[in-house]
């Protein structure tokens, strides 16, 4: 699989939309959740015990609502089993890192009970294995082969954390991440919109600007804004004018206020407070309550030992009535460069469509 930016392509030969497939909203019923057991010490130089415990707690929380599959290096299976217990089904795989949102498939559905997967080109967020241990460029392929599910190989570098869909034809993304020259040099806005239409069934792309300060992914949308349901967007809200994230938040809110979705609706905007900035050496961790996971009838979200934790929990409960909200300490996850949404990938309910 290529690990350098690919040339723009405007009309794919065979893509999900050709077969009536689209990306559902994350609140659509799930068959399961996919995670990866942490295995890269260079991502957590302070040690792996605390991150692994945090991953296990997320898996246990999600397992209350739906099955969890944990991809795991064979030599770590006993450790993962001991820490996760019966909460997960372990799947032996040659994993290199821990971020299934970005390296696992983006699943698409046909609306009739069939599910397939999009295998984006993955190049380590443009870093090309900056950390020791390699990266999971083959993860999506391995998952789809394990599931015996149809695979659509996409001709572009996209990560799951860089896109967020409402299931009704609208997609959120950022200019910063998609126009990163380390990913898809030469792609135009129209190139991306054509690809989102072909591979995700998207009719309207809403472009936000930059991501949060020091985000190692260089602008993923899933710590800045997400759909809570069609027509409703939750946004990371920094209110300190002296904080670089203030301009990011304000720009995102202004763009959303001016935009309409694929159905012609204006957006209802739910503002989620920013926690107090925390640093890992000179690097600011991109802490955000936006980076949460929607399970079947449940929400798993972060706490940061922060004064805003309680407010964020209350707002999340209000945004998702009828869901049980579980708040888990997540600083040890974010210390590795991402959050709860980054370490999970939902598989929509349905039967695998046959392989071509």
> Could you confirm whether 317 is annotated as catalytic?
no
From the candidates 39, 156, 226, 342, which is the catalytic residue?
342
Give residues with Cβ within 8 angstroms of 242, minimum separation 6: none
Helix (H) or strand (E) holding 70: strand 68-72
CA distance 62 to 68: 7
3-class SS of residue 333: helix
CA distance 246 to 237: 8
The CB-based long-range contact list for 241-244 (8 Å cut-off, 24+ gap) reads: 243/213, 243/274, 243/277, 244/213
Measured between its terminal Cα atoms, the distance across the chain in Å is 19
The CB-based long-range contact list for 123-129 (8 Å cut-off, 24+ gap) reads: 123/2, 123/3, 123/4, 123/5, 123/157, 123/182, 123/183, 124/3, 125/159, 125/216, 125/217, 125/218, 126/157, 126/180, 126/182, 126/183, 126/218, 127/182, 128/3, 128/4
Name the residues annotated as catalytic. 342
């Amino acid at each position: 699989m290529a690990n350098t930016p690919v040339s723009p392509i405007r009309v794919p030969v065979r893509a999900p939309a050709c077969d009536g497939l689209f990306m559902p909203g994350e609140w659509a019923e799930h068959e399961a959740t996919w995670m990866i057991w942490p295995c890269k010490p260079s991502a957590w130089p302070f040690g792996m015990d605390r991150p692994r415990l945090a991953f296990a707690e997320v898996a246990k929380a999600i397992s209350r609502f739906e099955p969890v599959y944990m991809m795991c290096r064979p030599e770590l299976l006993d450790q993962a089993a001991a820490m996760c217990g019966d909460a997960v089904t372990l799947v032996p795989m040659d994993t290199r890192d821990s971020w299934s949102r970005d390296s696992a498939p983006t699943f698409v559905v046909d609306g009739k009970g069939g599910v397939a997967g999009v295998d984006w080109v993955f190049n380590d967020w443009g870093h090309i294995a900056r950390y020791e241990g390699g990266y999971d460029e083959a993860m999506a392929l391995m998952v789809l082969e394990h599931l015996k599910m149809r695979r659509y190989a996409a001709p572009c570098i996209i990560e799951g954390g860089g896109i967020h869909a409402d299931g009704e034809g609208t997609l959120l993304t950022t200019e910063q991440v998609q126009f990163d020259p380390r990913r898809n040099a030469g792609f135009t806005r129209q190139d991306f919109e054509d690809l989102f239409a072909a591979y995700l069934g998207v009719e309207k792309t809403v472009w936000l600007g930059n991501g949060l300060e020091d985000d190692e992914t260089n602008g993923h949308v899933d710590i800045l804004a997400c759909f809570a349901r069609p027509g409703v967007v939750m946004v990371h809200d920094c209110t300190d004018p002296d904080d670089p994230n203030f301009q990011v938040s304000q720009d995102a809110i202004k763009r959303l206020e001016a935009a309409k979705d694929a159905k012609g609706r204006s957006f209802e905007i739910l503002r989620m407070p920013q926690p107090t900035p925390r640093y890992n050496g000179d690097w600011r961790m991109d802490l955000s309550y936006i980076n949460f996971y929607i399970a079947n009838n449940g929400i798993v979200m972060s706490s940061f030992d922060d004064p805003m934790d309680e407010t964020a929990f209350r707002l999340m409960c209000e945004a998702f009535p009828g869901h049980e909200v579980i708040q888990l300490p997540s600083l040890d996850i974010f210390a590795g460069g991402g959050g709860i949404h980054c370490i999970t990938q939902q598989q929509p309910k349905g039967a695998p469509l046959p392989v071509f």
